[in-house]
């Protein structure tokens, strides 16, 4: 019996529904240091992962491990505060289980956020990047056999909504390719040079599996990276997770303004 049969998304979706979650068209996954955006929701309902049978729990600092549902700009949205990663010992099926469950509950669009290392040396740090495409270098295939054939998961129309929101809120928003590596170690300078030659502007250890699965199950996908630190070979010192968390705090206002403007519009676009 496979893992997805043992802990199916329908089981997790049922547990989420029993906890009061549901009725949303758009959901978002908040990455390292970015969970504070949940404080912007009106009438929040908070459900810790440990209250949901089958929901894997993160062990990474900066990932609170709970769902928060509430109102934003007149729309009901679901926020996932923290994710699990392949490098924590989870399979691709478990990493993407919550994505499939959110689709079961009716989500038609998904915003994926993360903290990433910056490969484009001309961009300031911290800054924000809309993901236009990704490189899956994690050595894991997240899709099921019947889902083979799906290409770039990032929806250009939903991405354009965030581009417009960025202009209106005066939040600088770059655009580029995200390279997803397995982790948990940071990359070497040689690896960063390789990724630059492959066309990547940012690098991290998440997102690519979730994006592919969300697209395969019919959701419109947007990806936003917080460029929290220069990548190896560009940075002047050693890399560490505390730097990532600090960047999230430092850039929280810009990040929150962008999401507060963009998320309700995406919800309306998929109505």
Mind telling me the catalytic residues? 32, 63, 85, 87-88, 115, 205-206, 229, 241
8 Å CB contact between 100 and 214: no
CA-atom Rg of the chain in angstroms: 17
Residue 58 CB neighbours (<10 A) = 18
H or E segment to which residue 175 belongs? strand 173-181
8 Å CB contact between 183 and 69: no
Within 110-227, residue ranges assigned H as helices are 156-169, 189-197, 208-216
Q: What is the DSSP string of 92-118?
A: HHHHTHHHHHHHHTT--EEEEEEEEEE
Q: At residue 51, what are phi and psi to the nearest 5 degrees?
A: -85, -5
Dihedral (CA of 225, 270, 263, 112) sign: negative
H or E segment to which residue 243 belongs? helix 241-250
11, with CB counted inside 10 A (0-12, 13-18, 19+), is middle
Within 65-177, residue ranges assigned H as helices are 92-95, 97-104, 156-169
Question: What gap in Å lies between CA 11 and CA 170, rounded to an integer?
Answer: 42
């Amino acid at each position: 019996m496979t893992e997805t049969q043992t802990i199916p998304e329908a089981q997790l979706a049922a547990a989420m529904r029993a906890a009061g979650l549901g009725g949303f068209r758009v959901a978002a996954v908040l990455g390292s240091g970015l969970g504070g955006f949940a404080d912007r929701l009106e009438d929040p309902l908070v459900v810790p992962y440990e209250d949901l049978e089958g929901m894997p729990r993160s062990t990474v600092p900066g990932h609170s491990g709970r769902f928060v549902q509430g109102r934003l700009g007149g729309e009901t949205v679901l926020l996932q505060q923290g994710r699990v990663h392949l490098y924590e010992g989870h399979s691709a099926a478990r990493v993407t289980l919550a994505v499939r469950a959110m689709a079961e509950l009716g989500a038609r669009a998904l915003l994926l956020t993360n903290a990433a290392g910056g490969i484009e040396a001309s961009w300031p740090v911290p800054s924000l990047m809309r993901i236009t495409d990704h490189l899956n270098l994690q050595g894991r295939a997240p899709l099921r056999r019947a889902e083979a054939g799906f290409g770039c998961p990032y929806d250009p129309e939903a991405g354009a909504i965030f581009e417009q929101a960025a202009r209106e809120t005066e939040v600088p928003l770059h655009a580029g390719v995200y390279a997803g590596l397995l982790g948990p170690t940071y990359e070497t300078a040689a690896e960063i040079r390789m990724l630059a030659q492959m066309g990547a502007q940012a690098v991290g250890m998440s997102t690519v599996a979730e994006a592919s699965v969300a697209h395969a199950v019919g959701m419109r996908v947007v990806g936003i990276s917080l460029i929290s630190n220069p990548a190896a070979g560009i940075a002047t010192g050693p890399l560490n997770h505390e730097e990532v968390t600090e960047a999230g705090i430092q850039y929280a206002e810009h990040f929150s303004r962008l999401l507060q403007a963009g998320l309700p519009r995406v919800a309306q676009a998929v109505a």
